[in-house]
Amino acid sequence: MTGRAAQHNGAPCGLIGPKAEKSVSLALQGGGAHGAFTWGVLDYLLEDGRLAIEAITGTSAGALNAVVLFEGWLEGGIDGARAQLRQFWKRVSLDGSLSPLQRTLFDRFLSYWSADGSAAPSWLDAWSRMASPYDLNPLDINPLKDALDGLINFERVRACVDAKLFVAATNVWSGKIRIFKGPELTVDHVLASACLPMIFKAVEIDGEPYWDGGYTSNPALFPLFYETRTDDILLVQINPIERRSTPRTAQEIQNRMTEITFNANLLHELRTIEFVTRLIDDGKLSTKDYKRVLMHRIHGGRKLDEFTASSRLNARWEFFKELKDLGRATARQWLSDNYQAIGRESTLDLRAAYS
């Protein structure tokens, strides 16, 4: 966390609404259909209007939410961002305009995290684990591309200088994380961040293949250490770190393995923040050289986990709206409890939560 950005001077910066008094950077996790919970969180934060957004970092579904919010804001401010998020989730819902084949592929993308298996028939799910998307999807049909085309003006996104955008993907050849920044983003960069390798072909960018960013960071926090003025990072967490039960079925075991894998790098970064903060507070490191991050978190907790059993229907518009409503309620409560602390202190006890 060396080479820190300029000290934040207290004035709001980034995407600023008329009521903005403080700035934060947003870190948005991926997690399939539960990205609709993040939609609800973002919708309420935008409606409340007191937080300016200096930067957004996102992975997979988090990257989709980030880009849609970003472009909607550039087109129409707060109202534009809220409308664009709603339009995106409506478009990819079961009641949207995807073809039957696109619908099946998107169901599998959303159901990747569900405990009760894919929305596709069990025989198809088993077959997909033996055959690759190069066999099952030779035309490389990607419903996410169709959902984004015609909705997102990437030229507008690339031209924005008011706020920063970071999208994470995993380089298949090196196994390393790659962060794509706003000025270079195209639809392919976002698709790469959400490319689950058992569903979609690897996305090639500059001649190199990429898979879902969740394998190396979910989401990536480090760009927010070095390239932002605000010290406050608000993590929207939709994947459970801990489960107090032992998985027993093959599907439960696979899902828990995926959760652990997709959380590993986030845990590492959070532990690094806790370690550096402790050294700063003990006077062993200087804030001239190291950034003292103020860490915050909004998460769905037990209520979000309860949706797992019904995730077979997770592509329905009513289900998305239910997740959105939970996200809005959670964000409302979080702001009520923690708004005064923003800019002053962390509201997430990293040692207690992640050590």
Give the tokens for residue 74.
């550039």
Mean of pLDDT over the chain = 84
Structure confidence at residue 301 (pLDDT): 81
Pairing state of beta strands 294-299 and 203-205?
unpaired
pLDDT tens figures, 123-152? 345 445 556 776 666 666 677 888 888 899
- For residues 59-86, give the mean pLDDT: 96
In the chain, pLDDT over 90 holds for what percent of residues?
A: 57
Rounded distance between C-alpha atoms, residue 269 and residue 289, angstroms? 18
In the chain, DSSP finds a helix count (H) and a strand count (E) of: 13, 8
pLDDT tens figures, 25-65? 999 998 878 899 999 999 999 999 999 999 999 999 999 99
Structure confidence at residue 194 (pLDDT): 92
Residue showing tokens 């949207």: 96
The highest-confidence range among 7-16, 105-114, 246-255, 270-279, by mean pLDDT, is: 270-279
pTM: 0.88
Indicate the length of the chain as a whole number: 355
Rounded distance between C-alpha atoms, residue 139 and residue 58, angstroms? 27
Rounded distance between C-alpha atoms, residue 199 and residue 61, angstroms? 15
Pairing state of beta strands 177-181 and 164-171?
antiparallel
The highest-confidence range among 31-45, 97-111, 233-247, by mean pLDDT, is: 31-45
| Helix residue ranges per DSSP H, 114-161 | 122-130, 133-136, 143-148, 154-159
Structure confidence at residue 210 (pLDDT): 98
Residue 72 has pLDDT above 70, yes or no: yes
Pairing state of beta strands 164-171 and 294-299?
unpaired
Q: Compute φ and ψ for 324, nearest 5 degrees.
A: -60, -45
pLDDT tens figures, 1-25? 554 444 454 678 889 999 999 999 9
In the chain, pLDDT over 70 holds for what percent of residues?
A: 80
* Residue 164, strand partner residues: 55
Give the tokens for residue 44.
């309420």
Structure confidence at residue 7 (pLDDT): 46
Instruction: Let me know the angle formed at the C-alpha of 219 by 158 and 318, rounded to the nearest 5 degrees.
Output: 85
Residue 58: its H or E element: strand 51-59
Selection from 353, 113, 156, 110 nearest residue 255 by Cα: 113
pLDDT-derived band at 305, boundaries 50, 70, 90: confident
| Contact assessment for residue 209 and residue 226, using Cβ atoms and an 8 Å cutoff | no
DSSP 15: B
Structure confidence at residue 96 (pLDDT): 54
Rounded distance between C-alpha atoms, residue 316 and residue 90, angstroms? 9
Structure confidence at residue 115 (pLDDT): 39
pLDDT-derived band at 106, boundaries 50, 70, 90: low
Rounded distance between C-alpha atoms, residue 324 and residue 300, angstroms? 11
Rounded distance between C-alpha atoms, residue 355 and residue 271, angstroms? 7
| Contact assessment for residue 113 and residue 34, using Cβ atoms and an 8 Å cutoff | yes
Structure confidence at residue 12 (pLDDT): 87
How many C-beta neighbours within 10 Å does residue 305 have?
15
